[in-house]
Amino acid sequence: MLTLAISSRTLFDLNDSHQIYLDQGIEAYRSHQLAHEDKPLEPGVAFPLVNKLLNIKHPETGDSMVEVVLVSRNNGDTGLRIFNSIEHHSLDISRAVFTNGGSPYDYLSALGVELFLSAHHADVIGAINAGYAAAHLMTRKAAIQMDDQVRVAFDGDAVLFSDESEQIYQSDGLEAFRRNEHDLRNEPLNPGPFSAFLKKLHDLQNMFAPGESPIRTALVTARSAPSHKRVILTLRDWGIRIDEALFLGGQDKAKFLQSFKADIFFEDQLTYVKTASEHTATGHVPYGVTNQ
């Protein structure tokens, strides 16, 4: 199974409640949640992705192939509204960790988590530093779910791959980057924070007959020819097939992600995060030289 840990503020639209917490403090927030305990929360930015993932079933046994665990800085009292909302929306989520203000990433190892999505930036950085695939989602209401296929898009450098090449680009410029990629074109890139998660998706895809997978993946990168070769050979060396590869040569990625119909996009550079998040659930990956 794939195990995903998700924060309450990305699963549901808690912006109004969170604003009460910011403006009036924890006691006002607690009172608000208790007073609205039986009022279901509206779906948040990651709700469509979670709903699709929970509906993936084994092609032979019909068993669930993805588990979603709620991790939240709420306590049990204020968290009851969240569990009531899970029940209202018929989400198959049975495990939760409420930390009462503490950092939930300490529990990721015990939960067996392979992906952590949160609206709390410090928690995401802690998870990344601990070796997990993690992303900070900009909160907003959920997009309309158009179909049942899960479409996941990844940036390349500092997301799927290490930031070794990005470091050269940032320090020495484009020509130095191109020379480096040409010289090392047959040497695989080192894995980045999301390489293991991509491998897990690839393994799930392989359990289905060709053309029948409920998961579709895409690489959406600012790279262009000739630096594309090293990327392709790296994925081949890892034994991973990615469904679509877009080498955009520095073009903005937002419209391409719309064309791919991405349910989520993972990106390390805030410039691309800001434009993509206007249309697509976008996770900022705070890793590598561009985030120092």
Catalytic residues: 155
Distance separating alpha carbons of residues 65 and 53, to the nearest angstrom? 8
What number of other Cβ atoms are within 10 A of residue 277's Cβ?
22
Query: Containing H/E element for 180?
Result: helix 174-183
Distance separating alpha carbons of residues 232 and 218, to the nearest angstrom? 12
Q: How many CA atoms lie within 13 A of 133 on its CB side?
A: 26
For 267, phi then psi, to 5°, come to -145, 140
Q: CB–CB of 119/10 below 8 Å?
A: yes
